[in-house]
Amino acid sequence: MILISALPDSGPFPKASAMQFLRSPVSRSVLILSITQIIGWGALFMAISVTGEAMAADLGLSRATIFLGPTVMLVVMAVCSPLVGYLYRRYGARLVLAGGALVAAPGLWLLAASGGPVSYFIAWGVFGIAGAACLTTSAHVFLAELAGEGARRAIGAQMLFMALAPSLSWPATDFLQMHFGWRGVSVIYGCVMLVVCLPLHLFALPKTASATSQPRNASAADGAAHRLNRRVVLLITMAIALNGFITWGFQLVVIDLFRSFNVADYLAVGFGSAIGVVQMSARLFDFLGGNRWNGLATGLVAALIMPVCLIVLTFGGGAEWSILLFLLLYGLSSGAMSVSRATLPLVFFAPADYAAVAARLALPLNLAFAAAPPFFTYVLTSYGNRAALAIAFVSSLGTLASMLALQRLAKSRDQAGPAG
C-alpha cells in the first residue's frame, strides 16, 4: 500500500489508510476498474504477443496475418464508438462496461474454436465490439460520471495502475499457454471476463446517474455534440492521433528499430523492455503531482520532448548512448502523453460532457492507432530506420503544433469565461 500512503490530501483521494481508501467510492472504483482493465486488455489485446506464434502454426496462417487481428479489433472499436456514445447517454458507463464484458466472453470462446482465417477474424471483430464497451474509454467515462471535478485525478490514478498490464498479463498468459495451449488460454480468459469482470462492473461499481436522468441544463451530455467547439475537438484529435501514430506504431517495432542499428539482439530486447518502466515512472510523477498541472500542461511537455528524442536517435546513429537517451526521453514523453490523452478533454469541457467528447474522439483515434503498427513495420522493412524516424519526427511536430494551438485557445477561453 505504498502508493496509497503517498496520495496527497487534495482531490478525490484523501490521504488515508487502506480501509479508508476502499470506503471512498471513487478510490474503490479506481481499484476495481484497474483490475478489470488489466484483465480486459490482457485477454483481448495483449495475449496475442505470447500466443501469436502458436496460433500461426495451428491455424496455418503467417505471423503477419495473425497480427492483423488487433488491427481489425481497433477498426471495429472505432466504427462502434458513435453507438457507444449513445449508450453512455442512455444507460451510463457502468452498464456499458458490463455489456462489454458480457460480449467479450463468447468472442474469446469463438477464438478458441476458430479453425481458419474467417472465424479468426470474426472473433477479433467481436473483440472490437466488446472493447469499445469495456476498455479504456468507458472506464474513463465512468470515472468522469462519478468523480465530477475530480475526474482528472481519478483517471490519472487508474492509468497508473494500468501501466502494470503487460507485466501481469504476459507472464500469466505464458503460464496458461504452457499448461493449456493457446486455445485453453482463450477459454479461460472468456470465463474470467464472465465471472470476474462482469460482476465487478455490475455489482461492485457504484451507480451513477445516466445522462437521460440528469436535468436538461447547459452541460447535459445529450446536447454536448451540438455545442462542442469544432476547433478544440479537431486540435485534440490531431494532437492525440499524431502522437498515438508514433507510440502505437513503435510499440510493435521498437525492438526491430534498435536491431536495424546493428544493436545486439539481447540489448535490443532489453532496451525495448525498459521503455515500459520509464513510461510508468512518468505516469507516477504526473499522478503524485496531484492537481498542480492539467492534461494540457502534461501534453505540452510530452509534445516538446518527443521530437528531441527522435533527433537524438537519428543523429546518434544507434550508438548505445543515443539509444539510452532515446529510451529515457521517449518513455517520459509517451508515458506523460498517455495521461494527457485521457484528461485533455477535461481542460476544455465539463465532466458531464466527457462521454460525448470521448466517443467523438474514439473514431479517428482508433483508426490512427490501427494503421500505425503495419505502416511502421512496412516503412522500417522497406525503407530503413531513417525513413521511419523521419516520418515519426514530422508527426511529432504536428503534435507539438496542435498542443501549442490548444494552449493559445485555452488562454483565450480563460479570458472569455468557461467553455460551454
Write down the residue that cell numbers 461492485 correspond to. Answer: 204
pTM of the model: 0.81
Half-sphere exposure of 183 (CA within 13 A, CB side): 9
Q: Provide the grid cell at 92.
A: 451510463
Range of lowest pLDDT (65-69, 254-258, 316-320): 254-258
**Do 221-416 and 22-207 have the same topology in CATH?**
yes
What pLDDT is recorded for position 135?
94
Name the residue among 310, 298, 308 with its Cα closest to residue 254: 310
Which 3 state secondary structure label does DSSP give 9? coil
Other Cβ atoms within 10 Å of 358 Cβ, number: 24
At 222 the pLDDT is 45
Count of alpha carbons within 13 Å of 3, Cβ hemisphere only? 16
Give the cell for residue 282.
512518468
Question: For residue 393, what is its C-alpha cell?
Answer: 519526427
Indicate the helix (H) or strand (E) that contains 167: helix 165-192
Q: Round to whole Å and give the CA distance between 99 and 202.
A: 9
Average pLDDT, the chain: 84
Residues 198 and 70: beta-carbon distance below 8 Å: no
Q: What is the pLDDT of residues 160-186, one digit of tens each?
A: 888 778 778 888 998 999 999 999 999
Residue (of 288, 313, 310, 268) closest to 396 by Cα position = 310
pLDDT at site 392: 95
How far is 386 from 315, CA to CA, in rounded Å? 10
Residue with cell 455545442: 227
Chain segment 348-404, per-residue pLDDT in tens: 888 888 888 888 888 888 898 888 888 888 898 889 989 999 999 999 999 999 999
3-state secondary structure of 55: helix
Query: How many helices (H) and strands (E) are present in the chain, helices listed first?
Result: 20, 0
Q: Is 412 exposed, middle or buried (0-12, 13-18, 19+ CB in 10 A)?
A: exposed
Dump pLDDT digits (tens) for 84-116: 989 998 899 999 999 999 999 999 999 999 999
- Torsion angle defined by CA atoms of residues 5, 6, 10 and 11, in that order, rounded to the nearest 10 degrees: -90
Query: How many whole angstroms separate alpha carbon 73 and alpha carbon 214?
Result: 33
Domains of the chain, by residue range, sit at 22-207, 221-416
Q: Which of 233, 194, 188 is nearest to 353 (CA)?
A: 233
User: Looking at domain 221-416, which of 1.20.1250.20, 2.70.170.10, 3.10.20.30, 1.10.760.10 is its CATH number?
Assistant: 1.20.1250.20
Reference 12, options 138, 144, 135; nearest CA is: 144
Residue with the bigger pLDDT between 56 and 19: it is 56
Of 247, 243, 393, 230, nearest in space to 309 by CA: 393
Whole-Å CA distances, 211 to 207, 208, 217: 12, 9, 11
Cα-based torsion angle of the residue sequence 253, 255, 260, 261 in order, rounded to the nearest 10 degrees: 130
- Rounded distance, CA 38 to CA 49, Å? 15
The alpha carbons of the chain give a radius of gyration, in whole angstroms, of: 21
Across residues 214-237, what is the average pLDDT? Answer: 61
Task: For 288-308, write each residue's pLDDT tens digit.
Answer: 665 567 788 889 999 999 999
- Looking at 3.40.50.1220, 1.10.3720.10, 1.20.1250.20, 3.40.50.720, the CATH number of the domain 22-207 comes to 1.20.1250.20
First to last CA, the chain: 40
Buried b (16+ CB within 10 A) or exposed e, 184-195: ebbbbbbebbbe
